[in-house]
Amino acid sequence: MNYKIDNLQYCKWSREVFQINREAGLDAVHVTVVYHEDFDEFNSRVDEWNTYFKDNSDLIFLGKSYKDIEKAQKEKKTAIFFGFQNCSPIEDDIGLVEKVYDLGCRFMQLTYNNQSLLATGCFENVDSGVTNFGKEVIKEMNRLGIVIDMSHSAEKSTIDAINISQKPIAITHANPTFWHAAKRNKSDELLKILSQNEGMLGLSLYPHHLKDGTNCSIESFCEMTAKTAELMGAEKIGIGSDLCLNQPDTVVEWMRNGTWAKAKNFGEGTKKNSGFPKQPDWFIDARGFSNLESGLSKVGFSKNEISGILGDNWYNFYKRMN
């Protein structure tokens, strides 16, 4: 197979970014379309994407199933899969789940950092797990084929989602806490439960999720990958870079604050260091996949395992979702 998939990007989209992703050989990218937007605002984002698709039809097209990953590889394009980092587009309406699916949504986080109507985010003090409405929405996501993404959710909520969902779930962009104990990273226990239930972890290249941040070495990252593979199995690991290429700092501010507070929140950053953190030099953009390829080889992964981690595992996961 040898697919290359980055299962989370939120770049400032442009022809240049789509070209970089093609240079990186990406057959598919799961893109964040929505953070805090409601249903109408999601519709506007879809309109923007339709313009991107029209203007860059030689580079990208909307992906709807694993077959579009195959098509993308054949046509040397990148299939774009829509995802939400919050459940705001479905508002409080179970009927909107099918509507966002029809408009292309294939991944939805049950929460961003705060409590949602569905579950608890990792920045809350208390985690009550999946709510009454959350259970209904999971059923509907299962029925339609929208992946439950718990990257930003708190632990009990994530374990609830794994248990309630009839299909495997994903943590599209996070790292293990054994390596770097960030709020957004995940415990050994959780990762084991995830993998036992056929779920996938997309390793993140976002500096706040990396040991030593911007100065994280590729050796350290790949050693972490090897240990994670011991925990979960190499076939349960992919990449979800969380790359925010070319985004201005106003965007990370909006990601953290949305409209929920009058005072400014700094999320994973600090008051002094509130902007987007600088990427490590071996993963400035998706072309860093080639560095990952050699780095993973050096820590002892087989060729097959590396193909798995860099895309085939996600491809297999997409295939099981349909």
- For residue 37, what are the CA distances in angstroms to 91, 192, 240, 313? 9, 33, 22, 30
Between residue 33 and residue 62, which ones bind a second copy under the rule CB under 8 A? 36, 38
Sketch the per residue contact string, 83 through 122, with a second copy: x for CB under 8 A, - otherwise.
-----x--xxxxx------------------xxxx--x--
258, 282, 284, 290: residue in contact with a second copy (rule CB under 8 A): 258
Question: Judged by CB under 8 A, does residue 70 bind a second copy?
Answer: no
Which is nearer to a second copy, 96 or 309 (by Cβ)?
Answer: 96
25 versus 129: smaller Cβ distance to a second copy:
129
Single residue of 2, 19, 61, 124 touching a second copy by CB under 8 A: 124
Give CA–CA dist 215/63, Å, rounded.
Answer: 34
Type of residue numbered 297: S
Residue 133 interacts with a second copy (CB under 8 A)? yes
Residue 255, both tokens: 């990601």
Task: Please name the residues in contact with 153: beta carbons below 8 A apart, sequence gap of 6 or more.
Answer: 109, 110, 111, 119, 120, 121, 122, 161
CB burial readout 268-301, b (16+ within 10 A) else e: bbeeeeeebbebbebbebbebbebbbebbeebeb
Looking at the Cβ atoms of 259 and 270, the one nearer to a second copy is: 259
> Which CB sits closer to a second copy, 85 or 120?
120
In this structure, are residues 9 and 245 in contact, taking their beta carbons and an 8 Å threshold? yes
What six digits make up the tokens of 285?
Answer: 């953009």
Closer residue to a second copy, CB minimum distance, 97 or 245: 97
The one-letter amino acid code at 207 reads P
Scan residues 154-193 and list those touching a second copy (CB under 8 A): none
> Which residue in the set 47, 102, 125, 250 belongs to the binding site for a second copy (CB under 8 A)?
125
> Can residue 264 be called a binding residue for a second copy (CB under 8 A)?
no
Instruction: Kindly write down the DSSP assignment for every residue of 192-211, as one continuous string.
Output: HHHHHTT-EEEEP--GGGST
The footprint of a second copy on this chain (CB under 8 A) covers a number of residues equal to: 31
Give the number of residues written for the chain.
Answer: 322
- Residues engaged in binding a second copy (CB under 8 A): 36, 38, 88, 91-95, 114-117, 120, 123-129, 131-134, 136, 140, 258-262
